[in-house]
Amino acid sequence: MAKPGFGNILKQAQQMQERMQKVQDELLAKRIEGSAGGGMVTAITNGKGDLVKIKIDPEVVDPNDVEMLEDLIVAATNMASKKAQEVAEQEMSKVAGGILPNLPGGLNPFGM
């Protein structure tokens, strides 16, 4: 025989899962920027950290110094990804009540 309230716990878990899915969908629509070189290179990711666009100021394009441009792209991309991760963690913790970062071994069923 099921304990009283077990159905309620399952219902709450399902509602939380639905809210998590909604937040993940919203994260895909977000655009987060990271820049380097004083804005000469800007990387734009979605809220899950997937790179969606790179903007490069033509002034930074120097055929004799491609390595600098590459470094700026990496720095801007890393910054945007880090910001996206922070946004995702904040949004998901709102839904989960802050429990996701505390799961043992970094386990997170939502890939965040």
| Crossing angle of the two packed helices 66-96 and 6-29, in degrees rounded to 10 | 150
Averages of pLDDT over runs of 10 residues in the chain (112 residues) are 70 85 89 95 93 95 94 96 92 70 48 48
CA distance 13 to 17: 6
CATH topology of domain 24-94: Ybab; Chain: A; (3.30.1310)
Query: What pLDDT, on a 0 to 100 scale, did the predictor assign at position 112?
Result: 46
| The pLDDT of residue 59 | 93
User: What is the pLDDT, as a whole number, of residue 14?
Assistant: 85
pLDDT value of residue 71 = 96
Contact 47, 87 (CB under 8 A): yes
pTM: 0.69
